């Protein structure tokens, strides 16, 4: 079933793991679109380890993502389960 279909997974920017560049570009654009939609902010949390807090309100999550706080060290967007 997997004969001659071995793939090497590469770790790209923004924690995207994909087998090739086209897949990584697609995943990056898809994730960007999901983060910016209003509905997805309900399912994300922003963990700010610099200030020891978790942002759970959708308005604050959108604001943190929009003002590039995720580019700072120790600030992560996490999906709620």
3-class DSSP string for the chain: CCCCCCCCCEEEHHHEEECCHHHHHHHHHHHHHHHHCCCHHHHEEEEECCCCEEECCHHHHHHHHHCCHHHCCCEEEEECC
- The whole-angstrom distance between residue 51's C-alpha and the CA centroid of its chain comes to 20
- The answer to whether residue 66 scores a pLDDT higher than 70 is yes
Model confidence, pTM: 0.49
Reported as a single tens digit per residue, the pLDDT across 26-60 is 888 877 776 666 667 778 888 888 888 898 888 88
User: Is the pLDDT reported for residue 2 higher than 60?
Assistant: no
């Amino acid at each position: 079933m997997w004969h001659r279909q071995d793939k090497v997974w590469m770790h790209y920017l923004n924690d995207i793991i994909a087998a090739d560049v086209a897949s990584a570009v697609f995943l990056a654009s898809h994730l960007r679109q999901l983060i910016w939609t209003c509905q997805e902010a309900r399912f994300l949390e922003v963990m700010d380890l610099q200030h020891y807090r978790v942002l759970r309100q959708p308005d604050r999550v959108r604001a943190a993502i929009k003002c590039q706080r995720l580019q700072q060290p120790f600030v992560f967007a996490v999906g709620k389960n």
